[in-house]
A = this chain, B = another copy of it.
Amino acid sequence: MNDSYLKFVNSPFGARLARSLGLPKPEVLRRYRADRPEFEGLVAIGAGREPRLLDALANLVASIGVTSVAHESAGLWVPLAHRHGLLTGRFEPAEAGSQGRLAALLFDASGIEDSSQLAPLHAFFHDTLRSLGKCGRIVVLGRPPQTCASPRQWTAQRALEGLTRSLGKEARRGITANLVYVAQGAEGGAEATLRFFLSPRSAYVSGQVVRIDPGAPGRPADAAAAASVPAFDWSQPLAGRRAVVTGAARGIGASIASVLAAEGAHVIGIDIPSARDALDATLRQLNGTALAFDIAAPEAPAQIAAALDEQGVDIVVHNAGITKDKTIAKMTDAAWQSVIDINLGAQERIDDALLAAGILRDGGRIIGVSSISGIAGNLGQTNYATSKAGVIGRVQSMAPQLRARGITINAVAPGFIETQMTAKIPLTIREAGRRMNSMSQGGQPVDVAQTIAWLAHPGSTGVTGQIVRVCGQSLIGA
C-alpha cells in the first residue's frame, strides 16, 4: 500500500540523491480533493484546419471556469472565446520563466482529413509542451476513425493515437495525455468526459483513447446528444441514483463505493458473508446498504434481484474478483473454474437477471473491471487473464444490445494499483510493476474509483462498449 521510494525521492535529501544517481523521480500526483478547486490554471488551445469542436471547448472552458490562451494554430479561438464571453489571450512560445505556467493543452484535430494536414499538431505541442506544468493535462480531440467519410481522413484521425501515446511517454512529470474521439452529433455529450480528463480525478489515466457517440440511436444527430443527457448537477451528478458495487467490503471496491457515494449515489455494497463485518462498516460510513451474498452461488442472481427489485438500480459495478495464480501445468481444475466463474460467470448471470427483470433502469450503467492481464496475458494467470479478457468481450458484445435502452456498458482495466494484494508481490517484481509506466509509480484504489465514477456519470451517455485502462500508461500491453 506504501510506495516508500516515491516519498523518499520527493524529500529534499532524496531528490538530491536521486538526481545525482540518475534515478527516476516519480511525481507526487495531484488527486481530486473536495476542499480544493477541481480546475484551475491556464489552458492552451490549438487546432488543425477547420476545427469542429471549438464551440464545445468554449462551452467547457466557460463551464469549468478556467482561462484560455490561443496558440497560433487556433486563430479562430480568440473571436469565438469572446463571443462566449470568455477572457482569452494568445500563447507566447516558451520564454525564460514561462515553464510550467500551463495547466492543460487541448488540441482540436477534428477537421483534419489527410495525413498531409497533421503539421499543426507538431507546431502546437512543439511550442507548448515545455510550458505545461506538473500533473498537467493533454487532450487531443478528433473524429472516430471508423466514422470517417474517406480512407485518407480515417488514416489521419487514426494517426492521432500514435501521437497522443508518444506525448504521454515524453511528458512525464505526472502529466497525462489522452485522445477523445467525438462523433458527429455527439459534440453536446462530450463535457463529462473532457472534465474527467482535465480533472485531477484522472491522475492515473494516461495514453487512453475514448470514443463519444451520440447518446441514443435513431434520432437526428444533434438532438440525440442533447436529448439523451438528463439534467444533473455537476457537483452531485449521481444524486438520486442507486449504485450496486460487488466486492465492496475492502480495497478497490470500498473506494468505488466511497467515490460513488460522494457523488451523491445511494450505494448498495455486496460482498461475501465472511466479509460481512468489513462490508457493514464500509457501507455504514456511506449511509449505504450492505448485502452479504456470495455472488458465485447459483441462487445469488435471484437473491440480488429480489433485494433490489422494489427501488431498482441505475449503476452496477462488477468489482468482485479473485486471483489463483499458478502456471497452467500446476493449476488445478478448481483454481481455473473458480476464477472464471467469480470474475466472469457471476457477472454474466447477475446482469442477465437484472436486465431481464428490468431492475437495471433505462439509462443505466454497467461497469466491469478487466485488467492489463486480460489485455496482454500474464505468466501464471491463464485463468485470471481468460476471465478478464472475457470481461472485455462482455462489454463489446452487450453495448450494441443495450443502446436502445440508453444503458451503457464499459470496463476499466487497472494496471499496477497499490493494494493489499500488490503489497504481497516480491519487492523487485513490485518495483518493476510500479515503475514501468509513464507515472513511474503505482496507482491508488481511488484512481480506479474515479474512472468508474466518470463512466457512471449521467453525462457519459455517449461512452459505451469501451475499455479504459487505469495504469499510468503502463508499458505493458498487446
On whether A389 and B159 interact (CB within 8 A), knowing A164-B377, A340-B115, A377-B167, the answer reads: yes
For residue A312, which residues in chain B have a CB less than 8 angstroms away from its CB? none
For residue A394, which residues in chain B have a CB less than 8 angstroms away from its CB? 151, 155, 158
In the bound assembly, the distance between CA atoms of A159 and B383 in angstroms comes to 10
Set B122, B337, B379, B393: member contacting A154, Cβ < 8 A: B393
For residue A145, which residues in chain B have a CB less than 8 angstroms away from its CB? 393, 396-397
- Type the 1/0 row for A305-333, where 1 means its CB is closer than 8 Å to any CB of B: 00000000000000000000001110101
For residue A475, which residues in chain B have a CB less than 8 angstroms away from its CB? 376, 475-476
- Type the 1/0 row for A101-116, where 1 means its CB is closer than 8 Å to any CB of B: 0000000000000011
Q: How large is the interface on A (under 10, 10 to 19, 20 to 34, 35 or more residues)?
A: 35 or more
In the bound assembly, the distance between CA atoms of A161 and B6 in angstroms comes to 35
For residue A333, which residues in chain B have a CB less than 8 angstroms away from its CB? 119, 122-123, 126
Among the 9-residue stretches A77-85, A220-228, A248-256, A341-349, the one with 4 or more Cβ atoms under 8 Å from chain B is: A341-349
Could you tell me which residues of chain A, from 329 to 361, have a CB within 8 Å of some CB in chain B?
Answer: 329, 331, 333, 336-337, 340-341, 344-345, 348
On whether A151 and B397 interact (CB within 8 A), knowing A119-B333, A374-B162, the answer reads: yes
- Type the 1/0 row for A86-128, where 1 means its CB is closer than 8 Å to any CB of B: 0000000000000000000000000000011011011101100
A201 CB within 8 Å of chain B: no
Find out whether the CB atom of A376 lies under 8 angstroms from the CB atom of B118.
no
For residue A119, which residues in chain B have a CB less than 8 angstroms away from its CB? 333, 336-337
Find out whether the CB atom of A389 lies under 8 angstroms from the CB atom of B122.
no
Could you tell me which residues of chain A, from 357 to 374, have a CB within 8 Å of some CB in chain B?
Answer: 373-374
Find out whether the CB atom of A154 lies under 8 angstroms from the CB atom of B477.
no
Find out whether the CB atom of B166 lies under 8 angstroms from the CB atom of A377.
yes
Find out whether the CB atom of A478 lies under 8 angstroms from the CB atom of B126.
no
Copies in the complex: 2
On whether A160 and B382 interact (CB within 8 A), knowing A333-B119, A397-B155, the answer reads: no
For residue A374, which residues in chain B have a CB less than 8 angstroms away from its CB? 162
Set B158, B160, B329: member contacting A130, Cβ < 8 A: B329
On whether A379 and B344 interact (CB within 8 A), knowing A331-B122, A336-B122, the answer reads: no
Find out whether the CB atom of B377 lies under 8 angstroms from the CB atom of A148.
no
Residue among A327, A341, A401 having the largest count of chain B Cβ atoms under 10 Å: A327
Could you tell me which residues of chain A, from 371 to 428, have a CB within 8 Å of some CB in chain B?
Answer: 373-390, 392-394, 396-398, 401
Set B150, B170, B389: member contacting A328, Cβ < 8 A: B170
A–B Cβ pairs within 8 angstroms, 17 of them: A122-B333, A146-B396, A151-B397, A152-B348, A156-B390, A159-B387, A159-B389, A159-B390, A162-B388, A163-B385, A163-B386, A166-B378, A167-B328, A168-B377, A170-B328, A170-B382, A477-B477
